[in-house]
Amino acid sequence: MAKLKDIDKAAESKGSLLVTVWQFVKFIVVSLLAMIVQFVLLNTLQLIPAIKDLYTEPFSWWVFVYPVAVGGLGYFIVSNVANIMAQIVAFFVNKEKTFNSGANVAVALPIYIAFTIGLILFSAWLNPTLKDVFLNFEWCNETAAKNIATMICSAVQFFLYFPVDKILFHKKKEEKAE
């Protein structure tokens, strides 16, 4: 971690534009970590027998329509649990490593949660819609459709989270006296 701090300090000495570029690079790496968490959960939670059984139960509430063809209630649960867990990982790693933020968690976390809930609701609507579209292509099986739909939702979230995190985590950590 000392190397990372050295690069952070070197970027700071070059100006705010380079700091932002360096934060964006770190944000990409953290987002890849979060994506790995999300895809592992997306593809393993469905193996739990109780959840697997829910794939045959249609789920429709408000704007969320998960017919059996896209996985029903089981897919709703799996895709959203995977997304929530990925965002929890991303919050803490981005706060500590990407932005080196000393922002008060009691203030930042509720704002992050509200923003995350909005994005997850959007993704919960968009994901099965996209999965259904991809299932109509001959070349796309259910696993591919599910993963492609999740990738698109993850990309949308990625480009929305960076500016929000940059604002939310603007307060730098106090340097410890050595």
- The whole domain housing 124 covers 2-168
Position 62 scores a pLDDT of 86
In a domain, 176, yes or no: no
Q: Answer for the pair 67, 16: CB distance below 8 angstroms, yes or no.
A: no
Distance of CA 144 to the CA centre of its chain: 19
In a domain, 50, yes or no: yes
In a domain, 177, yes or no: no
Distance CA 108, CA 151 (A): 26
In a domain, 41, yes or no: yes
In a domain, 178, yes or no: no
Q: Compute the mean pLDDT over every residue in the chain, rounded to the nearest whole number.
A: 90
In a domain, 127, yes or no: yes
pTM of this structure: 0.82
79-125 pLDDT, tens digit each: 999 999 999 999 999 999 999 898 888 889 899 999 999 998 999 99
In a domain, 124, yes or no: yes
**DSSP conformational letter for 178:** -
Confidence of residue 178 (pLDDT cuts 50, 70, 90): very low
In a domain, 30, yes or no: yes
Position 2 scores a pLDDT of 78
Domain count along the chain: 1
